[in-house]
Every structure is written in C-alpha cells, then in structure tokens.
Chain A
Amino acid sequence: MDLNRSIFFDKYNVTTRDLEAYLSEALSRGGDYADLYFEYRINHSIVLEEQIIKSATKGVSIGVGVRVISGEKTGYAYSADLNRENILKAARTAAFIANASSAGGTIQVPTPLNQERNLYSISIFPAELEIAQKIALLEQADDAARAYDPRIKQVQASYVDETKHVLVATSEGRAAWDLQPLVRLNVMVIAEENGKRQSGYQGGGGRRALDIFTADLDPRELARESARQAILQLRAIDAPAGTMEVVLGPGWPGILLHEAIGHGLEADFNRKKTSAFTGLVGKKVASELCTVVDDGTIPFRRGSLNMDDEGNPTHKTVLIEKGVLQGYLQDQLSSKFMNAQLTGNGRRQGYDHIPMPRMTNTFMMSGESAPEDIIKSVNKGLYAVHFGGGQVDITSGKFVFTASEAYLIENGHITAPVKGATLIGDGPTVLRQVTAVGNDLKLDQGVGICGKEGQTIPVSVGLPTIKIHEITVGGTEK
C-alpha cells in the first residue's frame, strides 16, 4: 500500500508538515510522546422485519484524536472535523497533562512506513456497493427462515457494514495508514407454539465485501441455523444447577477464553497490578493440553488488523503454551512501563477514545482427541455449543458466559436440550480443569463485539471441542 493513497493526504490535503505542526503543538508543554489518530468512517445498515425493508441508515464519522503521554499520564482531546484550527486546539488541550515547566518534547518528522501486508485485500469496499445488493441478501435470509418451519413467526434480518480510513502519526517519527472493511449479517427469529415463544440468533461476517455472503456465509444457512435454534428451544427443559463436567463445542464457545483469561492478560491491568493474573508469567495456569494465542494476522477475520490503532503491526502472540503463561497483550504505554515487546494490541473505538490493550482473534490450538470420544467419556454433564455474551471481573478473576444452546450428556450420549444458563468460573484456574482438547479448532463466524471501559470493538474467538472437569452451571434444577 502506498501512503499517498490515504484519503487524508489525497482528498483532505493533510501534509507531513501539518502532522509535524500538530505533534509539535501537542508536545509544546513537554511530555514523552504524542500521537494523532485520523479517522474517516462510513457505516451502512439495513433492517428487514415483518417482510419489509424497514430502515436504511448511513453514518459518517470524521475526526482526529490527539494524545500526549507524560510519564504514566495521558492527556487526550479530539476535533470532530479536520479543521486545522480545531486540531491545533485539541493538541493544546491534550498538552495540558504535561508539566509546563519542562521544555517542549522532541518530535521526529513522521515518515510513512513501508506497509507490505494486506490482510483484507478486496477491490470494492462495502461503502461503494449498491443498497439493492444488500437488500437481496436480507430477503434470502427471510425466505429461508420462514420456509424452515411454520412456527417461525418473526424474522429480523439486519446487514451492517463499515469502511474505515485510519492514519496514525507519532512524535517518534512513524506514520502509518490503513483502510479497514467490515461486514456482518444477523438473523434473529421468534418461534411460537401454543403461546410459548423462543428466539434464535445467528450471524456472521468479516473484513470482506459482500462476496463473503456468496462464498462462505450463505444468508440462507444463517437463517436456517437461527430458526433451528428457536424451534429446538421450544422443547428445552430446565437447565441443571450445580458443579458438573462440561463439554464445550468448537467455535463461538471460545468466548470462554476471551472472558476467563483474555481480559485478565491485557497489559494495562497487569501494569497496575489489578488483574488476578498479575505476576503469573512463567507459572502454570492451565493444563498441558492448552495452548492459547491471540492472532491479529489472520486474513479477512473480524478481529484482524494490518496495524493496531497506535499504528503498530499486529502479531500472533502466544498467551499460554502447554499450560504455562507466556505474556500479556501490550499497547504503547504499558509495553514501555513493563519493558516488554509491543504485540500490536493497542485498539480504540474511534477518534474520540483513548487506545488501550485489547484482544484481536483469541483461540485455543487443536489437541488430539476426537470430539465424539470426548462426549463418550462423560457420564453425566452438559454439552454447550452456542453462547450469548460473557463478562469478567478482572480483579477477582471470576467470569461468566451464557449458554444459549446446550444439552444434557447422559452415559456418553447427548440427550435433552436445556434452557439457557450462565456458567461461572475462576479465570486463573478454570483451564487447569481442561481434561481433553479436540482436534477440531474452529473460529467463530465473525460476530464478536468486545466491551471494555465503555469502548466496543470487533473481535473474534475460537476453540476446539474441550472438556472441563468441573464448572458451575447456573440452572434452576437442583
């Protein structure tokens, strides 16, 4: 990619001299480091409901965030447009954090990085596509869900896309840009029978254009899967309560890793010693069967990025190798204070937010067991294959994730479907309970949204089939 092609240089006439001027202003009161984050984002969304296209939405977001770091302190301000005076004003505001008595910080003129990698090389970006094409996908989904079963009474299919131009320039002389596509299609259905109602949900997407929905993620398949879940839930029995053996299916149940260990390994919490994982690098935190990575470099994945939101290339970072904790997910600020290598995990929701360490695509590597053998080995337990969201208390390490499709396992066989229930466990110890890892690693289909301190970003998770010896299942059947 060629920097001259960045929209900010091309269309908005930003020059390297402008970048230099803004960074100089940002460090005018001193400070160790400053950076600029230019963002121009276009979103579209379309909703089909009650068999009509109810709404079409377009969103435009343009702005520049200015950050000044002085010691461990961060000053932040932004301009909600690309007006030169407004950006300079934001730079002066962000500079307030630095001690006025010290001399101005030094800046190196930002020079473009040579960017060779492109994890989402597509020719047409979602923002340029016709709405009619997007509507056709939703209509296919609606037809397929209704055809699946007459008990499907409501179908809500939605399409969203994002085309995001980013330019990062730092006082250390780096300038890097990226153009990031993102699409997603969701199908939510309500099934009704004898006054009983249940819902089903399935979605998918990635950093691609619409071809993803003809190649890998057929909207009709997403719709049928959503309908299957809702119909299945109509005959679900109460979930069990208590501690038991649990088998997690492959793919989206990887949310376990995201909650149980991923957040706790974000470097900011460990730099401040507020994470339950503080000081555990080199220690055994999981069974030897477990190797867990965060990999932002998988082509076209929802959590992948050519560069993070601080302009650093993303990495494949091994978090746990054969049960032993290897390290944390770093951003610029924490890596400096922890004297650790950057891992390319500095991310932010937009120009109006301060970056912090975040996950990308987080998953466990395949093991050797056949998934069928894992299920056969369970006498009495739960088999959970679909999950809603999860949450974690970083400090105590306790985390939850909520099964939306699960079954009882009795004498090695999958039997009755059970109602949704929350599973709760302890992050630093739950993976020690892993007694089998399947040979069937799958990543989720591209729907993950991760929230931290009020900022949401797209992420992905993955898991092979695994068996957990003991975890608490929050049902109602004692």
Chain B
Amino acid sequence: MLQQKAQHVIDRARKSGASAADVMIREDDSFSVTVRMGEIETLKEAISRSLMLRVFIGKRTATSHTSDISEPVVDRLVDETVEMARLTSEDESGGLPESSFFQSSFPDLKLLDPTWESLTPEERIDLAVRTEKAAFATDPAITNSEGASFDYARSHVALANTSGFAGQYQGTGGSLVCIPIAQSSEGMQRDHWVSAARHRHQLEAPEEIGRKAAERAVRRLRARKIPTCRVPVVFDPLCARSLLSHIFDAVAGGSIYRRSSFLVDQIGQSVASPNVTIVDDARMPAGLGSCPFDDEGVPTQTTPIIENGVLRNYLHSAYTARKLGSKPTGNGSRAASGVVTIGPTNFYLKAGTHTPEEIVGSIKSGLYVMEAIGFGVNTVTGDYSRGVVGIWIENGRFTYPVQEVTIASNLREMLKNIEMIGNDVTFVGAIAAPTLKISKMVISGE
C-alpha cells in the first residue's frame, strides 16, 4: 500500500512539471509504556506516518513533508512543492543519484522479528514492571525512580523515484530502559541502563537491566568535586558513544564541503592513534542502524572511516559526493523536514584487546567518565569542553565518585591520544563504542 502511494506521488510530481522526484514514506506502529513506582505512569500507542517528497526542475529543487497521507492533502502538497522548486536557485550538484547506482535486489539484513507481536500489552507492561522492581531490589539506597520504559515499534519504509527505483523494507525494534534514583544524606543521584534490539531474544533480561541501572546510580552517591588537574580519562562505552557522534559529525560530507570540520582536507593522513579503526557498516545483520538502501535509494555499504589511525573516507549523499568529486556511500538521510542530509548507519569504533578492568588498572591517577552533558563541542575547531560525572581512579582502582567538573581538550588531540581500547563495544543505537582511554585531558574543578 505504501509502495502504491509512493508511485502515485511520483506520477503526480511528473505531471505537475517536475523533471525528477523521489519520495519516501515511513509508517511506524509504536507502543510505549512507562512504569514508575510499580504503577503504569504513561501508556501510548499509535500509528504515525510521514511522507517526504523531493522534486527537481532541472537543477532546482524543493522538498516537503506531511503526516497526513490522504490523497487530497498529498496531491495539493505535490503541486505546491513543484511550484516552490521554480523559486530556488540552479545548483550544479543537484539531482537524484545517478541511475547506475540503483539496484533491485538486496540481502536480507534480518531487520524484522515477528515474535515481538506475540507479546500482549500486559506482557509488555510486565517487562517494565520487572525491570524497575529489579532496580529497587538491588540496593536499599534506591528509594525513588524516574521509571522503567518498554518501547516497541514496527516500521515500514517505502521509496520510489522517477529513475524507476522502487524499494521497501520493514524492521522491528524494542528497547527497555530503567532510570532509578539513589538517595544518601548528601542528596540524590540517578543513572540508567538500556538495552535495544531488533530481535526480541537479543534484548537483555529485565532483571539485568534493572540491576545494572541501580548499581550505576548507587555508585554515584556522595560524588564530590576535585581539584583542577591534567590526567588520563577513561570513557565508559555508553559515554564513549558521544565521542563517536562528534567524529561522525566531522566526517559527514556536509561538514566537509562547508569546511566546517576539523577533519577537512585530511584523507590519507594520520588523524588518530594507530590502534583506532572506525567504520560505518550498514550491512551488519540485525544492526540497529542497518538498512538495505539509504533514503535516496542508494545501496548501503561498509565504509572504512579511519583505518589504523589513517583517515580513509568521508560519508556522502548523492549531493555531497558530487560536490566533492566522490561517490555516494549510502548515507543519504532524510531529516523530519524531508531535506536530505547525512546520517550514520552502524557507526562504531572497533573493539580493542583490553578488558575494561585492564584499562582502569593501567592508571595511577585519572578519571573514569560515565556521563557527559552539554554542548561544548565545536566541530569546526575540534575544541571540546563538557560537564561530566565519573569515578576517580587511584593506583588502578576506583575510589570515590566525582561530579560538577568539566573535561576539556581538542578532538584532534583526543583522537591521537587514544591509548587503550576496550573489547566491549556496546550497541544501544546506530553509533557505538567500546571503553576508551585518552592519555591526557584537563579536568576543571576546584
């Protein structure tokens, strides 16, 4: 049904005067429940749709999107979008991807698990109940909670364009998260643990999630500020993800042609420590970021980003590839507005050989960081300054928790200073990382 709709939109765009067009329709059937203090707090269920259209008149383009995909609304929007395109500028690099890129068959990436559907609403609610209960049972210091949530969605994506490409895929995804609050005489601390998977059997057990979340919250109790110092910093895998997201921003084709990245003009150069390898792998079976083709219909691939410290590739849509004389990498991604930007698939730093314990054990004095907050990262210069919560390491052992401090450096230096890499890559989304040790950063505190 979505495919037919997509085809109808393409035909209509052509009739309205578009020389080329592509449309993506996405439908999400979602269920979400949050349980707090043993009771349901919110229960939400709905089907949402989004139609994203892009038209070209020669080298001019316009885009549109609508949540209402009924025919009168869509037909009118198609006509208006074509009219809008007449008012934009000719852009030499504009246009659909070259026809030669399109394919008609794709490998099965194991994105769909029908067994989720056999869970009744009561069983879904029970997953959240069990998770939160396990957090409370783990430690008496857990006295309150922001709740535990189970989220599930089945999505269906259909894409069609005037070059004759038509494709669709479906996927499922479920996640279970727990946010307990621990209390001491000095105040409260919260932390979380989350598991997310396309297949039901890959989801961590509720009891595991609740226990880990509780342990993480409790170990933050009585956190203190420390004096300003320059020491090694270890990022736990959930927090190291944020570093990978900054690197993704810096290798996205849009940042490169705008020259708004600290990694511009550096293909083939050493930009990171030799033990660092980063890939964007869209074909990982059942990967949370996997998909057969991107939001422009270009087949996805595995793209090496940094290999043994050397920058190999930037990530491209058809547009950024043309701008920079490169090939699309299957990373065209439609923002909610319908505009095509660059998105990650499974973008991660490959596992190293060290256990997290070995990494912590290697440090005389340093900071283990569990959470970083704020927006103090400048992709243009690489300057980095964020607020963190962590645990102080002394002689290879955890001592006391730390808060109200910042860590600062520059992403260029941080990449070169990655001294040890953990064997514990943790996927809870499209971007992932293992434990990482950076040899030196400035901690700003008292």
Binding site for B on A (CB under 8 A): 43, 45, 47, 49, 52-63, 72-81, 83, 90, 93, 96-97, 131-132, 135, 153-154, 156, 190, 192, 197-199, 239, 241-243, 272-274, 276, 352, 354, 388-393, 395-402, 419-422, 424-426, 472-476, 478
Inter-subunit contact A81/B68 (CB<8 Å): yes
Inter-subunit contact B375/A402 (CB<8 Å): yes
Inter-subunit contact B374/A400 (CB<8 Å): yes
Inter-subunit contact A56/B88 (CB<8 Å): yes
Tally of B interface residues using CB under 8 Å:
77
- Between-chain CB contacts (< 8 Å), 12 pairs: A57-B338, A62-B73, A74-B43, A96-B43, A273-B144, A274-B144, A276-B187, A402-B375, A424-B387, A425-B404, A473-B406, A475-B408
A474 with B385, Cβ < 8 A, contacts A45-B337, A56-B87 known = yes
Inter-subunit contact A393/B144 (CB<8 Å): no
Q: Which of B44-52, B154-162, B205-213, B308-316 contacts A (4 or more CB under 8 A)?
A: B44-52
List 10 tightest A-B contacts by C-beta distance, closest first.
Answer: A474-B406, A52-B89, A400-B374, A400-B387, A422-B376, A389-B375, A241-B444, A402-B376, A60-B66, A395-B190
Binding site secondary structure of chain B = strand
CA distance A274 to B73 in the complex (A): 44
* B380 cross-chain contacts in A, Cβ below 8 A: 190, 197-199
A154 with B406, Cβ < 8 A, contacts A57-B62, A61-B66, A393-B190 known = no
Report which of B68, B259, B371 forms a contact with A63, defined as CB distance below 8 A.
B68
Q: How far is the CB of B362 from chain A (nearest CB, A)?
A: 24
Report which of B36, B188, B374, B444 forms a contact with A276, defined as CB distance below 8 A.
B188
* A90 cross-chain contacts in B, Cβ below 8 A: 46
CA distance A93 to B29 in the complex (A): 13
CA distance A75 to B46 in the complex (A): 11
Q: Mark B178-214, 1 if CB is under 8 A from A, else 0.
A: 0001000001111000000000000000000000000
Q: How far is the CB of B297 from chain A (nearest CB, A)?
A: 19
Inter-subunit contact B44/A354 (CB<8 Å): yes
Inter-subunit contact B63/A57 (CB<8 Å): yes
Q: Which of B17-25, B78-86, B109-117, B347-355 contacts A (4 or more CB under 8 A)?
A: B78-86
* A63 cross-chain contacts in B, Cβ below 8 A: 67-68
Report which of A53, A400, A475 forms a contact with B87, defined as CB distance below 8 A.
A53
- B405 interfacial contact with A, CB 8 Å: yes
Most B Cβ at <10 Å: residue of A75, A388, A396, A422: A422
Inter-subunit contact A55/B41 (CB<8 Å): no
* A391 cross-chain contacts in B, Cβ below 8 A: 373-375, 387
* A426 cross-chain contacts in B, Cβ below 8 A: 404
- B39 interfacial contact with A, CB 8 Å: yes
Inter-subunit contact A59/B43 (CB<8 Å): no
CA distance A134 to B380 in the complex (A): 28
Residue in B closest to A403 when the chains form the complex, CB atoms: B376
CA distance A190 to B378 in the complex (A): 12
Residue in A closest to B388 when the chains form the complex, CB atoms: A424
- B383 interfacial contact with A, CB 8 Å: yes
* B139 cross-chain contacts in A, Cβ below 8 A: none
CA distance A243 to B275 in the complex (A): 36
* B73 cross-chain contacts in A, Cβ below 8 A: 60, 62
CA distance A388 to B339 in the complex (A): 24
Inter-subunit contact B259/A154 (CB<8 Å): yes
**Besides the known contacts A62-B67, A83-B70, 12 further A-B residue pairs in the complex with CB atoms under 8 A apart:** A47-B339, A55-B63, A73-B39, A77-B46, A131-B87, A197-B381, A396-B189, A396-B190, A402-B376, A420-B385, A424-B374, A424-B404
CA distance A10 to B6 in the complex (A): 31
Q: Quick one: which of B83-100 are within 8 Å of A by CB?
A: 84-85, 87-91
CA distance A76 to B43 in the complex (A): 6
Residue in B closest to A82 when the chains form the complex, CB atoms: B68
A58 with B144, Cβ < 8 A, contacts A80-B68, A475-B442 known = no
Report which of A55, A96, A272, A473 forms a contact with B339, defined as CB distance below 8 A.
A55
A190 with B339, Cβ < 8 A, contacts A74-B41, A391-B375, A400-B387 known = no
Inter-subunit contact B91/A52 (CB<8 Å): yes
CA distance A425 to B446 in the complex (A): 11
Q: Mark B248-287, 1 if CB is under 8 A from A, else 0.
A: 0000000000111000000000000000000000000000
Q: How far is the CB of B226 from chain A (nearest CB, A)?
A: 11
Q: Quick one: which of B327-361 are within 8 Å of A by CB?
A: 337-339
Inter-subunit contact B46/A93 (CB<8 Å): yes
* A96 cross-chain contacts in B, Cβ below 8 A: 43, 45, 121
Residue in A closest to B229 when the chains form the complex, CB atoms: A478
* A472 cross-chain contacts in B, Cβ below 8 A: 225, 404-406, 444-446
Inter-subunit contact B258/A156 (CB<8 Å): yes
* B220 cross-chain contacts in A, Cβ below 8 A: 396
CA distance A78 to B87 in the complex (A): 36
* B188 cross-chain contacts in A, Cβ below 8 A: 274, 276, 395-396
CA distance A15 to B444 in the complex (A): 61
Residue in B closest to A395 when the chains form the complex, CB atoms: B190
- B403 interfacial contact with A, CB 8 Å: yes
CA distance A421 to B374 in the complex (A): 10
- B320 interfacial contact with A, CB 8 Å: no
Inter-subunit contact A419/B383 (CB<8 Å): yes
